[in-house]
Each structure stands twice: as structure tokens, then as C-alpha cells.
Amino acid sequence: MAGLFVGVDVGTQGAKAVVYDSRSKAVVSRGAYKYDIIKTNVPGRAEQHPSLWIEGGFAAIQSALSEVDRKDVKGIGISGQQHGFVPMDGEGQVIRNAKLWCDVESAEEADQLSDLWEWTLVPGFTASKILWLKNKEPDNFARLRQVLLPHDFFNYHLTGRYVMEAGDASGTGLFDTANRKFDEARMLSIDQSLPEFFPELIGPNEVVGHLRPEIAAELGLTEEVAVAPGSGDNQMSALGAGAVKEGDWVVSLGTSGTLFGATKIPVLDSSGGIAPFCDSTGQFMPLLCTMNCTLAPEEVRKSFGLDHETITRLAKEEAAGCEGVNFLPFLTGERTPNWPHSSGVITGLRPGGMRPGLLYRAALEGATFSLLNGMRMLEKYGVSARELRVVGGGSKNRLWRRIIADAFQLPLRFPAEPESAALGGALQAAAVCAGVPVADYVAQNEPPCEAETLQPDPSKKSAYDDAFDRHQRLSNALFEKSP
């Protein structure tokens, strides 16, 4: 089915929308709306009310639709921040603010479940948030009748239907990834009624439904517009980056850093370091997430009061490996490895070493080594990459591109569309409306990349291997057994 398809990415800092024309295979318009997490003095709390996602998402959609013929829109696909817990009552009302992926109030519950399941559950996952509600707000838990994730809530608002799909559901901690179904035993260990509160699981190529009449009228669209399954932002970003084949991996350089790719086999890492995700095409998508990515170099830049161009130029003049200086970038603690009490550390300083370029490069290298550690973990499970597709704000830094290529010793490609998650939603919608499997559709209509493919420099391998080994050794010595 040819036409226009809307993709929406509903994140923690705002919503973004793109309109994709399946005939020209191009994004023809965009929209965005910023919002923020609710301010609080409660340690570890990060919450938003789901109505904010609808407000922001609809504003972004309206902005994107203002430049196109709305009658030509055939479908819509939603990408959402993963792990968030949307508690609904029996009347379809939100019980309380949603706890987000970055909310760690449920750290105690995560530890309880980890001990019970003999599987490390990080506090970001949804399961710990559900147990937190039961333990800390029993009156609200007593009202619970439906558990949704952020993108599921958006789909519900569009169609009136409660559903989940395997990609986002695999980030709850309550999913049997290998068999692509809910893990009822884990649900029952939290509460005997919990399995009843999870919605129907649909496949990656199904249509959730069509726009409710009042929603179609509000957006100026027809009621025939189909709503695709959607998924978590990482799964949708993989589609938008064209990474649907084994060996094509995505590195996302944002506030957090992520490394993920499609595999035919599940990766089940009991340490919790590699998230056991499914993707949004019917395959698996192991993922590593670090909490400190662009944050570390940005802290250095701000400390010296330099602009990005100047400090990057100074860093480019420094040698790979930073003369033995390592920046352990755990400024906000770390998720992978699970070191919530870790901190940022600079080691190896010698007289004259407090140079802005050296420290900035060390921060770039440190953030890269945290991601490279994930690749090394994945290789132990028989997973390997032949190419990295680099997205996110940090991907614009050409020095960082070079560091990643040389540290990983892999070629890099750079998707042209900056909003890869929103584009993934649009591509998924186009696929399900055309009746074509999502992976096949994306492979046939691969999103464009920059002309340049950056090849690694083999002469830098030794320097980065040594620096990475120091990064691992020092990090483990300082934080492996931290309280």
C-alpha cells in the first residue's frame, strides 16, 4: 500500500514525529515537542504522567502533518521509551504517574527479584517497579487491572485496544525471550493476579487496529489509518537504521550509550549485562546499555569553557590511548556493569596531563570502551558484528567516529535520518499496511546512510587494546565489589 506513514518516538525528553513517503522512500516532513521529567526531591525517582506523552506526541504529529496531504496517510507506528510502568485501573484510567526506565526507586525490589530468580534484574526493568507499587503503594496496587508500557499506552489511546508485542515486552523482566512469550512463573512470584493484568501479545507484522473516530478527527486523518504494533525505542531505532540482518549492529551515542543488533539466537546473560531483548521483526536483539555516554566528554568540555569545535580539535592532536590516561566515565553510577555506586575516575595523570584535549579524548575513549566491553561480552555468546551503524547526538563528532572505528576495528556507517526510532515506526507501519514482513520491507527499502563508510586503522589497534585493558582492569579493581 503506497502512501504516507507517520512514525512517532515518545521519549523522556520529548516526542518526535516523521512522515515517510513509501513512493519516494524518503522522510518528507518532521515535527517535535519538548517536555521533561517531573521535578522531585525523592532520590532515584523519575516519573511522568502518560498524558504528557499524548500531548507531546500529538503536537509533534500535528507539526509533521502540517506539511503534507493528510488524506494520504495510511498508517502510524509508535516508538516508546522502554521499561516504563503505566498502571491502569479497570476503567481504563491511569492510576498514578508512570515510573520511567531511569527511575531506580525500586532498587531494593530489583535485588529481591534477582535473588529469587537467580538472574540479575536491574532496577530500570518494569518488574521491579510493579513490585515497588505493591510494597510501597498497596492501595494503588489494589486498583491495578492493566499493565502497559509507554508505547502500548499510546497505542491504547489511538485504538482503544490493550496489546503488547515481544520487543518491548522483553524489557519488562517478565518475558521468556527464548520462546517469545510471557513468563507466568515470574509474574506469579510478584503477585498471583499479575498474569491477568498483562494484555494480549501480538506478532510483529500484525495491525493493532485503526484510529478511534475522535482521534482521527483530532488529527485530521481518516478512520482507516492503521496502527502498527510499534515497539521500544531501541527496537524501532534498529529498523530506522536498517539493521535487520545478522552482523549489522547499532551504536547509539546519547546521554546513555547502547549497542544492539539482530540475531537468530537469543542471548540469555544471567549477569544482567546484556539485556535479553527480542527485536520487532521476529528475531532477537541482545542489547547493552551504559548510563554514561555523551555526559562524560560534555562534563570535560563545560569544565574548560570551550566550544565543541575547539576542544575536539585539541583532542584530535592527542595520541590514541591518551598517554596512559584513562577516564572511567561512571559519573552517574553504571548500569552495565551493574555498579550503581560507582563514580567517574581519571587515572594515569602525570605533570602536564591536565590538558583539555587530553582529558576530552580520554572521556571519549572511556565512553567507547564501556560499549566495547559489551561487544566483548556478546562475543562470548557466539555473537559478532561485521559493521556498526552509529546514531545519536555523539555520532556527529568526527573524532569520536574515528575512535570507535579504531577501538572496535570495524567499519562504521552513518544513517542519514537523525530520528531513527521515529523512522523505524514509519517503516514498520508501511510494512504491515503492505502485508510484507517488517524485516523484508526494511531490507528492500533500506534507509539511506551517509556516503562515507569509515574504515578502521589497523595501526591503532595495539594502542586501543592496551587502553581498553587498562579501562577494564582499573574499573573492576575499583568497583567490582563496591557496596
Q: Which of 152, 183, 233, 279 is catalytic?
A: 233
Instruction: Write out the DSSP string of 216-242.
Output: HHHHT--TT-EE---EEHHHHHHHHTT
Closest CA to 101 of 152, 136, 164, 150: 150
For residues 172 and 127, is the Cβ–Cβ distance under 8 A?
yes
Question: What's the CA gap between 318 and 467, in Å, rounded?
Answer: 14
| β-strand partners of 87 | 147
Q: Is 103 a catalytic residue?
A: no
**Residue 432 parent element (H or E):** helix 420-434
Full DSSP string of 43-90: TT--EE-HHHHHHHHHHHHHHHHTTS-GGGEEEEEEEE-SS-BEEE-T
| CA–CA distance, 293 with 279 (Å, rounded to integer) | 23
Q: Which residue intervals of 435-460 are DSSP H helices?
A: 438-444
| Residue 19, CA distances (Å) to 24, 75, 122, 253 in order | 12, 10, 35, 24
- How far apart CA 399 and CA 407 sit, in angstroms, is 12
How far, in Å, CA of 121 to CA of 135, rounded? Answer: 17
Q: Which residues contact 39 (CB under 8 A, 6 or more apart)?
A: none
DSSP track, 241-295: TT--STTEEEEEESSSEEEEE-BSS----TTSSSB--B-SSSSB--EEEES-STH
30-36 CB contacts, 8 Å cutoff, 24+ apart: 30/63, 30/64, 30/419, 31/59, 31/60, 31/61, 31/62, 31/63, 31/64, 31/65, 31/66, 32/60, 32/63, 33/57, 33/59, 33/60, 33/63
E strand or H helix at 191, and its extent?
Answer: none
Query: What residue ranges in 307-439 does DSSP mark as E strands?
Result: 326-329, 344-347, 387-391, 412-413
Annotated catalytic residues are: 233
